[in-house]
Structure 1
């Protein structure tokens, strides 16, 4: 009797282990195939993410370069305008100084004649 129970237990164990090794019914793929497919998908996802990151980095670099160029051009224009203003101010100061010298000389000449 004990031998019969042991034989039935072993048969049930073999049947259960055999059922667990069968392919998954929903896809027909084994666990190894699922893992391989998941690894492939992860590789594609990583590659896609890297490509997107590279594209965003390139776009950000181009935008930063354009802004730096625009800022440089604006600074150059403002520097040129400031230099022009300084030149005009120097001219005005020279004219005012010369006029003041002439007026002073005329006053000295007029006083000398009196």
Structure 2
């Protein structure tokens, strides 16, 4: 039996709280569907570079993991986000600003 998925809005709220507790600036740049919206996380290192993360499902194991969807110049990442938003109007986009590139996505409770 598959694990129940946490509603997107609840996950986003918890993620924002974790980042703020770690003094990592974060902004919601697109608010998606509260229940089932997909979430993209943009990691902005404030040097013109960025990475874009998306949660992916491993079909063999059923595990969910964050993968790098795109990386490069910030303008390229912003263009990739806009393309995704055209396909999915329920998409959440969260921008994390940290010179060290910390996103906390690999921490327990956020990684899966």
TM-score normalized with structure 2 length: 0.19
Q: Point out the structure with the larger helix share.
A: 1
Could you say which structure has the greater relative contact order, defined with CA pairs below 8 angstroms and 6 or more residues apart? Answer: 2
Q: Bigger radius of gyration, 1 or 2? A: 1
TM-score normalized with structure 1 length: 0.19
